[in-house]
Chain A
C-alpha cells in the first residue's frame, strides 16, 4: 500500500484534498476488499452432516433398524444425517478395507478372548485392512496398555484388561451396544449331538450322530440352511468382505488347534473357548507345563508336532512348511515381493502373537510367541493354507494389468472356488446364491484318530434361504436339519418347537456396535464421541430391535463375568451403562440435556437448533 493519509498533512490545497480524497477512497476500497477477502476466505460454521453406513435389511435386519433409530436421535440434537446402505460385501469393503466412512452400524463376530482388544485398537494396525483397528485409533496410552495385555502371562491378564477398559470407557472409539442371542433351529429326529459343540465352529458339525428313523437307514447327508448367500460365491478364508464367523472355512481348512466347548455345561455357563490340538498332535511350551509363562517382553518357544500323514484335498502332503508359510503369508500376502506389504485382512490380529517360525522337519516346527499362552493359542486357530496354491497368489491385485491396487494381492481378492484345504469336508459343488455342497474328506486325520470329533456323514449340503422365516420353514418341513446362520431375532417367535424340531442356543460371540472413524472430524474429538455414545438407549434397543433376544453391554467383552470389573459392566455403578449412560429415558433423547452436553464439549448451536461445525 503506497499512500498514507498522514503524508499529506500541512499542504492543504484543492489538489491535495482531491488526492487525499482519492487516497482515502482507495484506502476505504482496499480496506473493504481486505474485509471481503477475510469473509470470503473464511468458512462459516455450518450444520454438522454425518453419514451412517450400514447394510440393508436383507443382509442384517437389526443393523438398519439401529441405524435408523440412531439417525432419529442425532437429528433430534441438530445433526444432519445421511444413511448409506451398501450391499454387505460393499459395506465391509468401504469400512474395513477402504476406511471410507464416518460411522457405521454392524456386528462384530469374533471370539471372547480379551486379545480382541489388541486387535481392534492397536495403533500400528490403523492403516491395515480388516478387523484390526478399523477405527483408526492412534493413542500412546492405549498402545502402552494393550502391549502389556498382549504380552502378559495368563494370570496377569485381568489386571491389564481392566486397565485397557479404563481408557476405552473414556475414548469410545466405538460404542458396543449389545450381544444378541445365538439361536438356531435343529431337527433332532435325524441327528443327535447338537449340544456338544458350538454351532458357529467346525466342531458343531462334526460328531453329529445320524439317527435311524423307524428302522430306515440313518441319514448320510447333513442339510444346513443359511440366510447369507455370500458363501456360495466366495470361499476365500482371507476375504474379510465375505466372511462372518468363518464356520464353513473352518470345515474346509484345518488349523493347528480348535476351539472346544465343554459338552456338559449349563446354558448360562459361559463357553470356555479353550483351544485344543487339532491339526497339531501336540504342542510343548519351552518353559514346561506349569503355565507360569514368560515375563513381559520375552518370547517363548512352542514346539508343535503335526499329525502324521496329513494331506490337502488335492492329494498334496501337508507339512510343517505349509504352516510356516501360512503365518508368513498372513503377515504379508505379497511375501515381500510386492512394492508394498499386503497384510491379510483376516487372521492378522491372531497371527500377530507369532514372532517367528522355524521348521525342524516335515512334522515339527517351533513357533516363537511374544504373548501369554491364551493369546498365543488364538494364533493356532488360523487356517493352514497350502503353500503350493497360495504362493502363486502374491501378485498385486489388478484388472487385466490395469487399475493396480498396491497393498492388495490376488490372495485377498480371489473367490477361491473350489477351495483346497485339508479340512474334514471338501468342496463338491456350488451354485451361486443357491447352494453349497461339501463331501466328507475320507483321508482326514480325525477319521483315523480315536477321540477326535469327526465328519459322520458323507455329504454336508447347504442351501440359501432368503430370510430366517423361510429357513425355519425349511427345517420344520424336514427339508433341512439345521439353520447354520443364527436366527434373526424377529423370527424366534415363529419357531414352534416339537419333539423333532428344537430351538438351539449357543453362547454368543457377537456384539453389535457403532464404529467411529477416528481419522475424520468430528470423530477425531473424544468429547464428541463421548456425547455421541450417550445418544443410544441400549436397553431400549434390545427390547425394540432385538425383541429381548439380546443383552445390552458396556464393553466389547461378551464374557463379562471373567474379564470386566464390576463397575465397568452393564448395570454396574447404579444401573445402565456406567461409562456412557443414555441421555434421556425409554429410548427418547432428552434434547435439552444432550445439547448442553455438546455445548460443554465445545460445540455451538444456531437459533434453529442445528449443531454447528467449521469444516
Chain B
C-alpha cells in the first residue's frame, strides 16, 4: 500500500515537473544545461552530499527523537491548544469538499513539487549559487527542525479534536495516511516543516525572480497554500506555521552567509595542500 501510494505521488509529481520545466525553464536553458551538466554537478556536489547525509541521519534520528523528547522535551500541546484552539476551528468552518480536495492535493503533491522543482530549475541556471543556497537552506531546515522536535512535544489539532478535523483528509483519502505516517511522527508538529520548506522555496524564488519571473508567483501561491493546508487539514497549529515561517527565514539567511564562504575551489586547494603535506611526510 505504501509503495503503491508512493508510486502514485512520484508519477503525478513527475508530470507536474515536466510541464513546469517546459513553461518556466525554457528550451534554451535546458539545451545549455545538457552541455554543461558535468561542470555544474561538480559545483553542487559537496552541498548535495551534505544534504543527503543529513536526510539519511534525519531518517535514523526520527526513530529515537520521540524517545528522547519524552525524557527531556516540553509537552506544549495543551498550551498551544489553550492559546489558539479556536483559530483552527474557525479555519475549518470554511470546509467544503472542493476546498478539502484542493488542500489535500497541495499538502501531498503540491508540497513535493514545490520542493523538487526549484532543484531542477536552479540546476538549469549557469550560476550554481542559487542551487547551492537552496540545498543548504533545506539542510538547515532539517537540522534546526529536528532540534525543535527534540525539545518540543506537541500533538497537532487532529489529535486533540479528531471529530472536527480528521474527516478532512485521512478519512476522505485514507491511503495518504500510509505515506504521511511513514514520513512524520505524530509528536513532531512544532514547527511545521511543510511550511518552512515551502516558504524557503518562495523566498529564494523571490530572489531569483529575474531569472525565473514565472516561478515566483507559482511558488508564492503554493507556499501559502501548503501553509494553509497544514492548518486546514488539522495537521498543524497556527503557531507551528508561524514558527515554520520563522525557521524558513533563519535557514535562508544562514545559507546565504554560509554558501560561498567555502567554495569548492577552496576545498579542493585545501585538499591538495593536505595531500601534499601527507605525501611529503612519507
Contact = CB atoms under 8 A, between A and B. Distances in A.
Interface of A: 56-58, 61, 64-65, 68, 82-87, 90, 432, 465-467, 469-470, 472-474, 477, 479, 490-491, 494, 545
Interface string B190-208: 0000000000000000000
A292 to B, nearest CB: 52
A82 B78 contact: yes
B187 interface: yes
A479 B171 contact: no
A57 B159 contact: yes
A560 B175 CA distance: 40
Contacts of A477: 1
7 contacts: A56-B77, A56-B159, A57-B162, A57-B166, A68-B161, A473-B1, A494-B171
A133 to B, nearest CB: 26
B73 to A, nearest CB: 11
Given A57-B158, A65-B162, A87-B187, A469 B177 contact: yes
Contact of B174 (A61, A68, A90, A467): A467
B75 interface: yes
Interface string B23-40: 000000000000000000
Interface in B40-82: 63, 66, 70, 75, 77-78, 81
B259 interface: no
B271 to A, nearest CB: 39
A68 B1 CA distance: 34
Contact of A85 (B77, B163, B174, B178): B77
B159 A64 contact: yes
B177 A470 contact: yes
A83 B160 contact: yes
Contacts of B162: 57, 61, 64-65, 490
Nearest to A90: B70
Nearest to B70: A90
A64 B166 CA distance: 13
A592 to B, nearest CB: 27
Contacts of A64: 159-160, 162
Interface in B135-192: 155, 158-163, 166, 170-171, 174-175, 177-178, 181, 186-187
B170 A85 contact: no
B155 A85 contact: yes
Given A61-B162, A87-B70, A469 B75 contact: no
A474 B174 CA distance: 10
A86 B174 contact: no
B156 to A, nearest CB: 9
B75 A466 contact: no
Nearest to B163: A65
Interface in B233-281: none
A122 B135 CA distance: 62
B170 A474 contact: no
Given A83-B81, A85-B159, A490-B171, 8 more contacts: A58-B159, A64-B159, A64-B162, A65-B162, A83-B160, A466-B170, A466-B181, A470-B175
Name the residue among A58, A68, A494, A545 with the largest chain B CB count within 10 angstroms.
Answer: A58
B70 to A, nearest CB: 6
A474 B160 contact: no
B75 A84 contact: yes
A481 B170 CA distance: 22
Nearest to A473: B174
B82 to A, nearest CB: 8
Interface string B67-109: 0001000010110010000000000000000000000000000
B171 A474 contact: no
Contacts of B158: 57
A64 B78 CA distance: 12
B177 A467 contact: yes
Contacts of A545: 163
Given A64-B159, A470-B178, A85 B171 contact: no
A469 B173 CA distance: 9
A473 B78 CA distance: 33
B177 A85 contact: no
A106 to B, nearest CB: 15
Given A432-B63, A467-B170, A470-B178, A83 B78 contact: yes
A85 B77 CA distance: 7
B161 A86 contact: no
A497 B15 CA distance: 37
Given A87-B70, A432-B63, A466 B178 contact: yes
